[in-house]
Chains A and B, each alone.
Chain A
Amino acid sequence: MTEERPFRRLSPLTPLVRSFIVVVAAVWASWDDLLRGDPGPLAWMLLALLVGGAVYGAASWLRTKYWIEAEELRVDTGVISRQSRRIRIDRLQGIDIVQPLVARLFGLAELRMDVAGGGRGEGSLAFLRLDDARALKDLLLARRDALRAKGRPSADGEAAAAPTVPVPTPARVLARVRPTTLLLSLLLSADTLVLVLVALGLVVSSLLADSWLGLSATLPVLLGLGLVQVRRFVAGYNFTVSQTDAGLEIHRGLLEVSSQTITLSRVMGVVLSEPVLWRRLGWARLDVSLAGYSSSSGGQEGPAASTVLPVGDRVLALWLARYVLSSLDPEAPALTGPGPGARWAAPVVHKYLAAGAGEQLAVSRHGVLTRRLHAVPHARVQSVRVRQGPWQRRLGLADVHLDSPPGPVDVRARLREAGEARRILEAEVAVTRRARRAQGEPA
């Protein structure tokens, strides 16, 4: 191929967006000097830096090209040492569109591709115009589906035809979290509760001891914890869940806006959480484990990435749970608690433990302050474990764990009578085997 490839470039504003803070700081710092027409040495240095940065940025922009070739998205970058990345389209797990605050001011967005078996940074394209980013995302996903369909033996020739951008079907909004609800839910969360109690305790003890040393020493920690709640609010602001052709789409964010698509086949399990103060209001939160999400980013991605509903009516959360589990009901299996012997191992906690298995799902419930219902389809269980500590051995008890891919989901039957634990393990091993077979997957 000798003719010029039909490559495309990033937005020309990319260098500016990337170094926006620096540019603003530099201009702000030397503004007075420049206006007076008498720039000092510092201003000259900053100016030189800016010019140098601009030249480098422009060169970098000129050198960065991306195009789709056969079954790959190719990205060429690098000013001094050149890099060429190839991202296999059929291995794309999901594509998120993220708009950091500065990029948002310029109407730009970053395309983050989650590639099976690749790092997170590997699949990033920043920055594109928002419309371009959306179009590219749709095109890549359509192309991926076409490629995957072609790979299947039963595919007809139709699928192999050059894919075009599909006519986007309007997204159907399933749930939207009001900012007031989100704010209230964060104020009523177990974290805030603990935070307030600790702060109150410190204030009281400081008053009693007439020394503010303890409070001032722990103040940074308390502030940090408070800041975490603020960040949760900012990240979950305007949280919208909608249904699209590709799966579940999640929009959220106050400053940085992100839009994430969850393909239902990647859902490895769900967690329904109910902090103690939410129960009266009938609220719940829904998180899911996704295949190749946090695992591919080296643990960088927080649990927020897999939140499907930060707060909402319990009925709605359950409905969404059934939706992402392809109509399996996490509340259907009957749960049983551990036997009476468990009270010697965990005097309080044992009352809050329960586990059970249904036809398709293994479910467990635990947590004193925050009640969590974990559910995993049998077909997604990676391995089954029985664990027994020295004290448990004395009591003839054991824990059963179902290992899932990295994520919040952790189904376990704790403090079971030892013989029963082994029976649970054997039953689960057999049922996961059947479930994998039924899914058409090899055992």
Chain B
Amino acid sequence: MTRLGGVDDLFAPPGNPWQPVSPALRHLRRTVLLIWSALGLLAIVVAATVFALPLLVTVALLVVLLSVCAMAWLLIGRNVRFWAYAEREEDLYIKHGALFRELVAVPYGRMQYVDVTAGPLEQLFKVSTVHLHTASPGTSARIPGLPREEAARLRDRLTSLGNAQAAGL
């Protein structure tokens, strides 16, 4: 098997196609990134004036900030493009990650509860995050950037399936 083939196999859709998350998540995360970068820029400018930093140091700091920002910008794009979920008959598949990629399969019968959250910025971009909890803290089953209606639908479906298949420990 070729190397590429193996990689593609690893995150192939599980029977039914992957549902992507909303592109609004990309805008949301890039907005957050820009806010932090602006704060970083401000901090550098203030430090440069207050401590009278040499020009070289200031430029170096700016370059570091800029390259970190650019890297994060690209990673956010990759991350959001990769993030997807697939609802199956008896379990939910989620894949996510940019550098470290992960695919998690959560059986509905193992779900303890489902959270839907939307922070202030998420509300601005009209998206929510759905978080599935099992008895294991290792389960990292989170789907951010779902349009509100889709998040509500998913939560209702998951809770009804979870109730139908309610399983204790």
Write out the residue numbers on chain B whose beta carbons fall within 8 Å of the beta carbon of A417: 1, 6
A292, A380, A382, A393 pick with most chain B CB within 10 angstroms: A382
> What are 16 A-B contacts defined by CB distance under 8 Å?
A291-B169, A383-B106, A383-B110, A383-B136, A385-B102, A386-B104, A388-B7, A396-B3, A403-B136, A419-B5, A419-B6, A419-B9, A422-B12, A433-B90, A441-B109, A441-B168
B84 interface hit (Cβ, 8 Å)? no
Known A383-B134, A387-B102, A443-B90: A396·B6 in contact at CB below 8 Å = yes
Known A383-B139, A401-B138, A419-B5: A443·B102 in contact at CB below 8 Å = no
Stretch of B22-30, B61-69, B159-167 with 4 or more beta carbons under 8 angstroms from chain A: B159-167
B167 touches A436 (CB 8 A): yes
B107 touches A443 (CB 8 A): yes
A396 touches B7 (CB 8 A): yes
Distance in Å: Cβ of A283 to nearest Cβ of chain B: 29
Distance in Å: Cβ of A381 to nearest Cβ of chain B: 8
B104 touches A385 (CB 8 A): yes
Instruction: Work out how many contacts link A and B, with CB atoms closer than 8 A.
Output: 116
Complex: A383 Cα to B139 Cα, angstroms: 6
Write out the residue numbers on chain A whose beta carbons fall within 8 Å of the beta carbon of B51: none
Complex: A401 Cα to B136 Cα, angstroms: 12
Interface residues on A, range: 35 or more
Complex: A385 Cα to B93 Cα, angstroms: 9
A-B CB proximity, top 9 nearest: A418-B6, A403-B138, A382-B136, A403-B136, A291-B169, A382-B134, A396-B6, A442-B165, A418-B10
B135 interface hit (Cβ, 8 Å)? yes
Distance in Å: Cβ of A53 to nearest Cβ of chain B: 41
- Residues 140-169 of B, flagged 1 when their CB comes within 8 A of A and 0 if not, give 110000000000000000000000111111
B54 interface hit (Cβ, 8 Å)? no
- Cβ 8 A contact of B102, one of A388, A418, A432: A388
- Residues 20-46 of B, flagged 1 when their CB comes within 8 A of A and 0 if not, give 000000000000000000000000000
- Residues 356-393 of A, flagged 1 when their CB comes within 8 A of B and 0 if not, give 00000000000000000000000011111111111001
- B side interface size, CB within 8 A: 38
Write out the residue numbers on chain B whose beta carbons fall within 8 Å of the beta carbon of A405: 135-136, 169
Write out the residue numbers on chain A whose beta carbons fall within 8 Å of the beta carbon of B101: 387-388, 393
Write out the residue numbers on chain B whose beta carbons fall within 8 Å of the beta carbon of A266: 169
A384 touches B105 (CB 8 A): yes
Complex: A432 Cα to B136 Cα, angstroms: 15
A186 interface hit (Cβ, 8 Å)? no
B100 touches A387 (CB 8 A): yes
A295 touches B135 (CB 8 A): yes
B residues in contact (CB < 8 Å) with A: 1, 3, 5-7, 9-12, 14, 90-91, 99-110, 134-141, 164-169
Dominant secondary structure at the A interface: mixed
Complex: A279 Cα to B107 Cα, angstroms: 39
Write out the residue numbers on chain B whose beta carbons fall within 8 Å of the beta carbon of A422: 9-12, 103
- 6 additional A-B residue pairs with CB within 8 Å, beyond A383-B110, A385-B103, A425-B103: A381-B110, A386-B103, A389-B100, A406-B137, A429-B107, A442-B164
Write out the residue numbers on chain B whose beta carbons fall within 8 Å of the beta carbon of A432: 107
Write out the residue numbers on chain B whose beta carbons fall within 8 Å of the beta carbon of A382: 106, 110, 134-136, 138-139
- Cβ 8 A contact of B104, one of A380, A384, A398, A426: A384
Distance in Å: Cβ of A262 to nearest Cβ of chain B: 14
A261 interface hit (Cβ, 8 Å)? no
Distance in Å: Cβ of A152 to nearest Cβ of chain B: 14
Complex: A10 Cα to B167 Cα, angstroms: 38
Distance in Å: Cβ of A431 to nearest Cβ of chain B: 11
Chain A residue with Cβ nearest B93: A429
A309 interface hit (Cβ, 8 Å)? no
